[in-house]
Structure 1
Amino acid sequence: MSKIFYFMGKSAAGKDTIFQKIQKLLTDLRTVVIYTTRPIREGEEDGVAYHFVTEERMRELEREGKIIELRAYNTVHGIWYYFTADDGQFSGNESCVAIGTLESFEKMQNYFGKENVIPIYIQVDDGVRLERALERERTQKEPKYAELCRRFLADEKDFSEENLERLGIVQRFENLDMGKCTNEIMLYIQKNLCYNNNKETGSI
């Protein structure tokens, strides 16, 4: 099957911004849009970064057997769900780009096969991450600082070195310079796509 390049990283590591840049640079890759029940933030658009749905709609997709992976986060504002649905986005021969967590990455690999889901792990110094997160939260009409702190601490556990090693994530992309990091990721994806095409044609 086609490849799924899966973007991950701790909160405020810059993965969302780089993901959006890659979408514009590699237009031949289809974007997988995941779902969430959390409230839409200022500046976000439904169907772009996320499909914003109600919990009732999520349960409908679950009953239809279309949910590949589902995550529940007990936030200070209640439980927020994030999930990926097999809703037609993975049909065809086009390779895709998607974004999620380490937990969802593991479930995607289990569903589609490890060889078909390629990790794109973006990292940055924790101090820089915290500064970026605070700066971003201040732009919201109703900043949620408690939730920011919860996510920051949760990421330390979720993206531990032990978990990264367990899932074989060796390649890391350091986001000290966003332009440089984006270019490195773009070249990495193109290299993997060329390798995959060569395998299919037997010209390696």
Structure 2
Amino acid sequence: MKIIYFMGKSASGKDTIYRKVKEKLNPSPKEIILYTTRPIRDHEENGREYFFVTDSEIAKMENEGKIIEKRVYHTVYGDWIYATADDGQFDDNSVYMTIGTLESYVPIRAHFGAETMIPVYLEVEDGLRLERAIARERTQKTAKYEEMCRRFLADQADFSEEKLKAANIIKRFKNEDRECCLKEVLSYIEHEL
């Protein structure tokens, strides 16, 4: 089993690069679907981007020992939980892809083993990242700029150099030119597989 694990600050292009990699790799990796209690966004679908669940459903999975890692974000809209579960979606002979945080990467690596993981850390200059985040919010029915700003600031601490080093994230991909970044990411993944 291999897990291609995309990480990066908000609006670093994780979703875009992830989708392009999924299209180009053959065979296409299976997706790890995370669980979240946050509200579904426009154009999202339950079971595609996330499993959208309640707090009590997460608690039930925890009691059953299925939660590998769990994070709680204290947003301006309340607490939102994100979790990865060993819920039957993994098998030893497959390649998987997911998007997560540095905080979630470490326990997943501990659960499955470092040799299983292919970390893909995307980074973008902060000004460009902020422009992308604002542009994304403008496409929503109800823009949540306050939450966007909270995430932007929280990412500075969540992806600090100290935390990247502690998680042994060495390889980084600059995502200012998406096509160049995609080529570099694909080359790296194909080498690691």
TM-score of the alignment, normalized to the shorter chain, above 0.5: yes
Render the CA deviation track for 1:54-106: whole Å, top value 9, x for unaligned: 11211111111100000000000000000000011212401111110000001
Bigger Cα Rg: 1
Measured at CA, do residues 178 and 153 of structure 1 come closer, stay the same or move farther in structure 2, by a change above 3 Å? same
Q: Structure 2: which 5+ runs fail to align? A: none
- Aligned-partner Cα distance in 2 for 1:25–1:52: 28
**Equivalents in 2 of 1:85, 1:19: separation in Å?**
20
1:27, CA displacement in angstroms? 4.4
What is the rounded CA distance, in whole Å, between the counterparts of 2:67 and 2:21 in structure 1? 26
By how many angstroms is 1:11 displaced? 0.2
Instruction: Name the counterpart of 2:8.
Output: 9
1:47-62 superposed matches below 5 A: 47-62=47-62
Inter-partner Cα distance in structure 2 for 1:151 and 1:192:
31
User: Is the counterpart of residue 98 in structure 1 residue 98 in structure 2?
Assistant: yes
Give every structure 1 segment of 4 or more consecutive aligned residues whose post-TM-superposition deviation is greater than 6 Å.
Answer: none
TM-score, normalised by the number of residues in structure 2: 0.96
Partner of 1:65: helix, strand, or coil?
coil
In the other structure, the counterpart of 2:124 is 124
Partner of 1:200: none
Spell out, residue by residue over 1:176-204, the C-alpha distance to the aligned partner (whole angstroms, 9 max, x if none): 111221121111111111xxxxxxxxxxx
Q: Does 1:138 align with 2:138?
A: yes
Secondary structure (helix, strand or coil) at the match of 1:16 reads helix
Quote the RMSD (CA, aligned, Å).
Answer: 1.0
Deviation at 1:46, TM superposition (A): 1.4
Matched residue SS, 2:130: helix
TM-score scaled by length of structure 1: 0.91
SS in 2 for 1:104: helix
Q: 1:37 to 1:27 in 2, by over 3 A?
A: farther
| SS class of match (2:84) | strand
Unaligned ranges ≥5, structure 1: 194-204
Spell out the pairing of 1:105-184 with structure 2 (5 A cutoff): 105-184=105-184
Match of 2:22 in 1: 23
Partner of 1:76: 76
Aligned counterpart, 1:199: none
Q: Pairwise mapping of residues 28-43 of structure 1 onto structure 2 (< 5 A)?
A: 28=27, 29-43=29-43
Count of paired positions: 192
**In 2, distance between residues paired with 1:183 and 1:49?**
24
Q: Quick check: 2:118–2:189 contact (8 Å CA) kept in 1?
A: no
